[in-house]
């Protein structure tokens, strides 16, 4: 069975980067993994702090997607590892959602989004599903550390 997630209000909504599961990491508090991920596009700039303090994950996402801001030059090379760090810290910080992730056993996890072919499966399920893959990697790490 494949586990699909997208909306934070759904059964596996805690898998979403928009879920309200904050964590302290690298000396700062991050309201969501979306805040962390978007802010790191502008590491060590004023935009990083502005995005970290954004009111909602959607606000953080909009700010991070604003291409008038100077995106870090190595973004394409580092974005997957930044997402890995954010997701791992989120699940390490919250035992309740850690148990939900671990309860998925060995099932495939897929971000069911129509418009994202990188992080999700895309409209026709041909996307890379990197967020799902990172969640499964995180599940393996947590299982080994139990």
Q: What is the mean pLDDT of residues 94-113?
A: 98
**pLDDT tens per residue across span 56-78:** 999 999 999 999 999 999 999 99
Q: Residue 120 pLDDT > 90, yes or no? A: yes
Nearest residue to 43 via CA among 77, 13, 20, 17: 77
The domain total for the chain is 1
- Under 8 Å between Cβ of 5 and 110: yes
Q: Helix 75-93 vs helix 130-144: angle between axes, to the nearest 10 degrees? A: 50
At 146 the pLDDT is 85
Sequence-ordered strand ranges (E) for 6-102: 23-25, 28-30
What's the token pair of residue 33? 């993994």
What CATH number has the domain bearing residue 123? Answer: 1.10.357.40
Q: Residue 140 pLDDT > 90, yes or no? A: yes
What's the token pair of residue 54? 């954004």
**pLDDT tens per residue across span 3-53:** 999 999 999 999 999 999 999 999 999 999 999 999 999 999 999 999 999
**Residue 118 CB coordination number (10 Å):** 14
Count Cβ atoms within 10 A of the Cβ of residue 24 and give its class: 0-12 exposed, 13-18 middle, 19 or more buried.
exposed
pLDDT band per the 50, 70, 90 thresholds, residue 127: very high
pLDDT band per the 50, 70, 90 thresholds, residue 55: very high
Q: Residue 137 belongs to what domain range?
A: 2-144
């Amino acid at each position: 069975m494949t586990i699909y997630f997208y909306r934070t209000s759904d059964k596996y909504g805690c898998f979403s980067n928009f879920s309200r599961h904050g964590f302290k990491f690298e000396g700062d508090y991050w309201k969501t993994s979306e805040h962390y991920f978007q802010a790191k596009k502008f590491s060590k700039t004023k935009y990083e702090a502005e995005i970290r303090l954004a009111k909602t994950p959607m606000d953080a996402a909009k700010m991070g997607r604003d291409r008038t801001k100077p995106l870090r030059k190595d973004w394409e090379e580092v974005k997957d590892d930044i997402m890995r760090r954010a997701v791992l810290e989120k699940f390490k910080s919250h035992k309740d959602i850690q148990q939900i992730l671990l309860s998925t056993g060995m099932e495939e996890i897929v971000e069911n989004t129509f418009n994202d072919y990188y992080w999700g499966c895309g409209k026709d399920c041909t996307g890379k599903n990197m967020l799902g893959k990172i969640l499964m990697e995180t599940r393996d790490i947590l299982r080994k550390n139990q």
